[in-house]
Amino acid sequence: MNVGILGLGLIGGSLARAYSKAGHRVYVYDRDEQMLEFSKIAGVVHGTLNTDTIGQCELILLAIYAGGSAQWLEDNSPKISPKAMVIDCCGIKKYICDKCFPLAEQYGFTFVGGHPMAGSHHSGFKYSRSNLFQGAPMVLVPPRFDDPVLLSHVKTLLEPCNFGSFSVTTAQQHDKMIAFTSQMPHIVSNAYIKSPTATMHKGFSAGSYKDLTRVAWLNAPMWAELFLSNRENVLYELECYIESLQAYRDALEAQDESALTALLEEGKQRKEAVDG
């Protein structure tokens, strides 16, 4: 199978490694020409995704920012084979699905929104690996929900990634959930590490510190775009969190041990309820 990949970052590079390892021919476009040449020398990429090769690809994976992915598809839709499947790997879905579903319908190929729930606080091709998606969930947003043949075909095309599970949802529901499960943890982690006390933590920190601060080390331009593209859902989660934090602050300020104990017990019970 000929596979086209847009972007050679952590996600795109890992996709390229996975499909190349599985014996498929991989074509990639990346603005960093030196990195693209390096990936070819390393044997991960077989050629450049361009005017000559786009039409040969049976599967095209968009693995850059949502805005860039949508623009690339708009510019190159006429070159894509009507038999091809295009799947994006962006962190938001409504924006890109609203842009790309009409393009697919106009030019005859199939577009499915996708979000591989895997990654790292490191970015770039340097940190990519063929097993990044091993056992990870994959969220799909299909153009229609009454077509099991389409979903089966998508799963077959994605087999080299070895995803552990697939979830099918709407773009709106995806963005609402991802604001809570992914975007908010990055904001919380990024804000927490800004305490002046952080400069003195060594020797006093263990697992809880590492867990909470891991994703503070992020790709700032990418996450800023994701937050703004999902603004309403992120603001809702922020307001919920700020309201909860205020309750803890009030209890501490009032030295109200019973209220503080109740808040902590409520959080513990909530964790047990949602995660078993």
Per-residue pLDDT reduced to its tens digit, 41-58: 999 999 999 999 999 999
Confidence of residue 30 (pLDDT cuts 50, 70, 90): very high
CATH number belonging to domain 174-275: 1.10.3660.10
Task: Please check whether residue 113 is in contact with residue 138, taking contact to mean a CB–CB distance below 8 angstroms.
Answer: no
pLDDT at position 152, please? 96
For residue 62, list its beta bridge partners. Answer: 6, 88
Nearest to 183, CA basis, from 270, 88, 90: 90
CATH number belonging to domain 2-169: 3.40.50.720
HSE toward the beta carbon, residue 130, CA cutoff 13 A: 12
In the chain, domain spans = 2-169, 174-275
Confidence of residue 119 (pLDDT cuts 50, 70, 90): confident
pLDDT at position 120, please? 77
pLDDT at position 203, please? 87
pTM of this prediction? 0.90
> Which tens digit of pLDDT belongs to each residue from 129-174?
999 999 999 999 999 998 999 999 999 999 999 999 999 999 999 9
Q: Give Cα 11 to chain centroid, integer Å.
A: 8
SS3 for 260? helix
Confidence of residue 27 (pLDDT cuts 50, 70, 90): very high
pLDDT at position 160, please? 98
